[in-house]
Structure 1
Amino acid sequence: MNFEQVTALKKLLSSSKRIAIVPHKNPDGDAIGSTLALSHYLSKKGHETQVLAPNDFPKFLKWMPGATEILNFERHNTEVKKFIENADLIFTLDFNDFGRVGQMAECLENASAQFIMVDHHQQPSDYAVITYSDVTISSTCEMVYTLIDAMGDRDFIDSDIANCLYTGIMTDTGSFKFKATTSKTHRIVAELMDKGADNTAIHEKVYDTNSPSRLHLLGCALKNMVILEEFNTAYITLTQEELDRYDYEKGDTEGFVNYGLTLNNIRFAVIFIENKDEGIFKISFRSVGDFSVNEFARNHFEGGGHTNAAGGKSEKSLQETIDYFISLLPNYKKELTA
């Protein structure tokens, strides 16, 4: 954060406030970790805080300190709307456009509160009085740590905050292997461990709590994988029927798309997952090197994200979506095979 942002934030937080903290729809480890950590921090500063999620989040994140207090817009609609209506400030974390909160968007658009954005995705919208946006930082959790540090409040970081921040950094860096992981990231993680983050327990709770049905679903996904050697690309499909067959629960497909990138010479990996209730195929894109899946998703699938990790959607049938996707690849062959 720069000096002007820190000064402005200190002024906004100089007296007790009612603060809503909002992650994106289908929140992941970074979204839940950053919102809970910020909530714990601001509560310790004397503010009334509430994390308001657009919908539910995976079971493997529900152990996190404060997770049981999160209000879910789909389940606690009235309470969420009331809190937003009466909020003094609204922090939006790990997203930068109201289009990323689904049906909650209208509530945010009509809110009278001032907004503070903390996010590391590309091309932020202009809705906040303070926009802390940095696409070079590994995760929103790393940004929340930096915010707390810039406010001069590192001593406020306790084991609850440390565990939340560690979880988000770990998950959004692919256990510290992605390019955005820097020496500063590791120094922050080391301090979080000193503050009480239990790295072994966090890894176990996030990665080692699979159900048999999830592993069977993974087997189905890998069986469905198609490799397009000409374009150094691999894609996976999962239909609603397949999800239902293996008792899909929210979060079960987390990380499936990355298996494509474990193949030799594959630079572009995609997964298409049907959501019959919404009438769409949700798409996750991953890449290695300089191929920008953010631009690919924005240009062709109403999405976006980071250079090497992005999302999108399609309202076409599975076959139409796949055919369209494959038809685009010749335009990117030079980038994918360089």
Structure 2
Amino acid sequence: MRTTLLDIQTTYDLRRFVTNARNIVITCHLSPDGDAVGSTLALCRVLRNMGKRVDVVTPDMVPRSLHFVPGVRDITAFTINESRARFLVSRADLFFCLDFNSLHRIDKLGELLDKSHAPRVLLDHHLQPEPIFDLFVSYPELSSTCEIVYRVIQEMGWRNYVDKMVAQYIYLGMMTDTGNFTYSSDYPDVYEVLADLVTYNIEKQKIYNLAMNTFSADCLRLQGYALSEKMQLFPDKHAALITLDKNNLERFNYKRGDSEGLVNKPLAIPGIDWVVFLREDPDNIKVSCRSVGDFSVSEICKQHFGGGGHINAAGGDFHGTMDEAIEKVKTIINSINDF
């Protein structure tokens, strides 16, 4: 790689933390995506290959669309098995916090980590991490947390513990978090990592098809309905808006993950350069944004929806009704003067 991620002190501290740890817990953000799942399972497998006792504990269930990933069923989800999650967190003497930059992004699990005295190691690529971690490996300019995890493994001298399964986990996260390397991947190092992963004979086509090209009938009907009936275009602002309320979701037997990738679809329309997708969840309106070029949806999510992310891929939340969320988005769209 052209650049290294770890300085001498960080390398020393990370090696000390791992050497001294007897019970390690790895966690990630709510509604784990391919990057969160891939990075946690990859690091878990490497540390287990080193002889460490490691568990992955997530705030909630991994979406159905990622249930094909080996090892997912061994993950402890707080919302499903709270007693075991509490036990694992209580006995942990080291936490790896992957793919999130604030404890509020791991919901009730954050309260448990906050009370623990065990060190927290952040491996992440989101902007402006909160100063609540003991060790920071944070690079927002990189493609994915999976890329960061893999490069940390290499720089720590742990490459001997990488096998085909680890490489496939890393590829899953990098591929899904870049839209199959269409965004957040315009620098040489990311392809050096990819080239290295290929040497492990990873099943690239199979992983892509399972992660990005496999849908249930209900999922396809939901996405078709969303594009046909729930998409609004704003050609003069180069924008699109898709909305799905709870009635829409119930109509198509929505399962978590069924709307994955929907926000990207309008970008295929010539002249549409940014998209907002609003989905009504039980507690709030989930906001997802995508863009192309230099238009920063991260700034929009940060300023208006208490979130953030990357220039071309970001998200946040809206607390209110769907009608109120739609009006807010339309106000934002109409406020864009120069594109």
TM-score (norm: length of structure 2):
0.95
Q: Of 64, 68, 80, which residue of structure 2 is paired with 1:59?
A: 64
Q: Of 310, 317, 329, which residue of structure 1 is paired with 2:333?
A: 329
Alignment of 1:265-276 (within 5 A): 265-275=271-281
Secondary structure (helix, strand or coil) at the match of 2:190 reads helix
Q: Of 312, 316, 321, which residue of structure 2 is paired with 1:312?
A: 316
Q: Note if contact 1:218-1:253 (Cα within 8 Å) is conserved in structure 2.
A: yes
Q: Note if contact 2:21-2:94 (Cα within 8 Å) is conserved in structure 1.
A: no
In the alignment, structure 1 residue 151 sits paired with structure 2 residue 124 = no
Secondary structure (helix, strand or coil) at the match of 1:333 reads coil
The match for 1:281 is: 285
Distance 1:172 1:185 in 2: 12
Runs of 4+ aligned structure 1 residues displaced above 4 Å come to none
Spell out, residue by residue over 1:315-335, the C-alpha distance to the aligned partner (whole angstroms, 9 max, x if none). Answer: 22112111112112343221x
Distance 1:56 1:333 in 2: 41
Secondary structure (helix, strand or coil) at the match of 1:235 reads strand
Spell out, residue by residue over 1:176-218, the C-alpha distance to the aligned partner (whole angstroms, 9 max, x if none). Answer: 1113343221221222121232111111221232111111001
The match for 1:205 is: 210
Distance 2:131 2:110 in 1: 15
The match for 1:80 is: 85
The match for 1:238 is: 244
Letter in 2 for 1:58: P
Spell out, residue by residue over 1:119-177, the C-alpha distance to the aligned partner (whole angstroms, 9 max, x if none). Answer: 00001111111100001110000000001001112222101101111100110010011
Distance 1:8 1:16 in 2: 12
Q: Note if contact 1:97-1:124 (Cα within 8 Å) is conserved in structure 2.
A: yes
The match for 1:96 is: 101
Distance 1:14 1:261 in 2: 47
Distance 1:249 1:72 in 2: 16
The match for 1:4 is: 9
Q: Label 1:100 to 1:16 Cα distance change in 2 as closer, same or farther (>3 A).
A: closer
The match for 2:267 is: 261
Q: Note if contact 2:25-2:88 (Cα within 8 Å) is conserved in structure 1.
A: yes
Alignment of 1:213-232 (within 5 A): 213-223=218-228, 224-232=230-238
Percent pairwise identity: 35
Q: Note if contact 1:117-1:128 (Cα within 8 Å) is conserved in structure 2.
A: yes
In the alignment, structure 1 residue 177 sits paired with structure 2 residue 182 = yes
Q: Note if contact 1:64-1:163 (Cα within 8 Å) is conserved in structure 2.
A: no
Letter in 2 for 1:312: G
Distance 2:72 2:266 in 1: 32
In the alignment, structure 1 residue 298 sits paired with structure 2 residue 302 = yes
TM-score (norm: length of structure 1):
0.95
Spell out, residue by residue over 1:280-316, the C-alpha distance to the aligned partner (whole angstroms, 9 max, x if none). Answer: 1111011112222111111111111111111111122
Distance 1:59 1:194 in 2: 29
> How far 1:61 sits from its partner (Å)?
1.8
The match for 2:47 is: 42
Q: Note if contact 1:234-1:266 (Cα within 8 Å) is conserved in structure 2.
A: yes
* Structure 1 stretches lacking a partner, 5+ long: none
Q: Note if contact 1:173-1:181 (Cα within 8 Å) is conserved in structure 2.
A: no
Distance 1:310 1:207 in 2: 19
Secondary structure (helix, strand or coil) at the match of 1:316 reads coil
Secondary structure (helix, strand or coil) at the match of 1:14 reads helix
